[in-house]
Amino acid sequence: MKEICVELQGEEAMIEYGAYLAKSLSHTHTIYLQGNLGMGKTTLVRGFLQGHGYYGAVKSPTYTLVEPYELPEGQLYHFDLYRLGDPEELEYMGIRDYFDQDSISLIEWPDKGQGYLPAADIIIRIEMIPNGRRVMITANNEQAETTISLLM
């Protein structure tokens, strides 16, 4: 699997990188976001949305599980599964209806939905480093490998 890594300093850098990723990963449908609390996953999503032309409020869907956004290119769903008690709860909310060829799904805490989520095209891991955050992007299939090759 192909992986790239960047180091970012500050919230604004995370937003800018999210916007850059939005333009570069435009054909990616399922993106897992991994990292501890406070690493900047939702901040990256805010930048991703800005990269698609959305400048409204972006909040973490910690209590609602999913926040939909209508974009010119189609629908974007931002999931935050941190408070999910049981992965089977996703079945009750009709999780399969969210994943189609015209939508993009950014999923925080995907491990909490294991067995009910589609495989990720791309996995983005964020971790703390002394001067900011390290963002590691891993392709999870051949199409994603081609896509992230363009990021290098």
Q: Judge whether 26 lies within some domain.
A: yes
Q: Judge whether 48 lies within some domain.
A: yes
Q: Judge whether 139 lies within some domain.
A: no
Cα separation of 91 and 122, whole Å? 23
User: What is the per-residue pLDDT for 152?
Assistant: 65
What is the crossing angle of helices 41-51 and 11-24, to 10°? 50
In this prediction, residue 127 has a pLDDT band, given cuts at 50, 70 and 90, of: very high
Number of structural domains in the chain: 1
Q: Judge whether 39 lies within some domain.
A: yes
Q: Judge whether 89 lies within some domain.
A: yes
Average pLDDT over every residue of 119-131: 95
User: What is the per-residue pLDDT for 43?
Assistant: 95
User: What is the per-residue pLDDT for 129?
Assistant: 95
32-56 confidence digits (pLDDT tens): 999 999 999 999 999 999 999 998 8
Contacts of 120 (CB under 8 A, 6+ apart): 30, 31, 32, 107, 110, 140
pTM to 2 decimals?
Answer: 0.92
CATH number at residue 60: 3.40.50.300
53-98 confidence digits (pLDDT tens): 998 888 888 878 899 998 888 889 999 999 998 999 999 888 888 8
Cα separation of 109 and 17, whole Å? 20
In this prediction, residue 135 has a pLDDT band, given cuts at 50, 70 and 90, of: very high
Q: Is residue 104 over pLDDT 80?
A: yes
Whole domain around residue 61: which residue ranges? 3-134
Cα separation of 136 and 50, whole Å? 21
Q: Judge whether 93 lies within some domain.
A: yes
Q: Judge whether 144 lies within some domain.
A: no
Show the tokens assigned to 128. 């703390």
Whether residue 39 contacts residue 124, with contact meaning beta carbons closer than 8 Å, is answered with: no
Q: Judge whether 142 lies within some domain.
A: no
Q: Edge-to-edge strand order for the sheet containing 132-139?
A: 3-8, 132-139, 122-129, 30-34, 103-108, 74-80, 66-71
